[in-house]
Amino acid sequence: MNLDANARYLESHEWSRQEDGLIVCGISDHAQESLSDVVFVELPEVGTTFSKGDVFGVVESVKAASDLYMSMDGEIVEINEALEDEPEVINSDPYGAWMIKFKPSDPSQWDSLLSPEQYQEVAEAEE
C-alpha cells in the first residue's frame, strides 16, 4: 500500500492535501485496491458547499459503489473533469488522480485528520 507523506486521511479512505490555500482530495491507494477496477465517478457541482463528513460524490467499480466523504467543511472550487472519461486513472495513480479541490471554511479541521502513519494502521486493520 502506497501512502502520500504530504496527505492526511479519513478512516473512509479519502486523502487530502493542502495546495495553495485549497484542499485537494481523492481516494487512497488502499481504497482503489479494495474497489478494483474503477468504472465511474460522480462528483459535485462547483460552488456546492459541504460540511465535514458529508457525502460529496460516489466512486463505482466492477465490485461496488462507495460514497466519498468530505474531510473538512468547504466550498467546491474545481472538480477533475478528466475522471468523467477516464475514471480508471484512479487505479493507476490514486494520489495524482484528485477528485475535488475545495476552499476550507474551517482550516483548523486539518489537525483532526489522520496522519499517514495513523491511516496505515486503520487500513492494515481492515485486511
pLDDT of 1? 84
Sign, Cα dihedral of 90, 122, 100, 54: positive
Question: Domain 8-106 adopts which CATH fold?
Answer: OB fold (Dihydrolipoamide Acetyltransferase, E2P) (2.40.50)
pLDDT of 99? 98
Q: Residue ranges of the domains in the chain?
A: 8-106
**How crowded is residue 101: how many other Cβ atoms within 10 Å of its Cβ?**
19
The answer to whether residues 75 and 48 touch, using CB atoms and an 8 Å cutoff, is yes
What is the model's pTM?
Answer: 0.96
pLDDT of 127? 78
The answer to whether residues 23 and 56 touch, using CB atoms and an 8 Å cutoff, is no
User: Over the chain (127 residues), what is each successive 10-residue block's mean pLDDT?
Assistant: 95 97 97 95 98 98 95 98 96 97 98 97 91
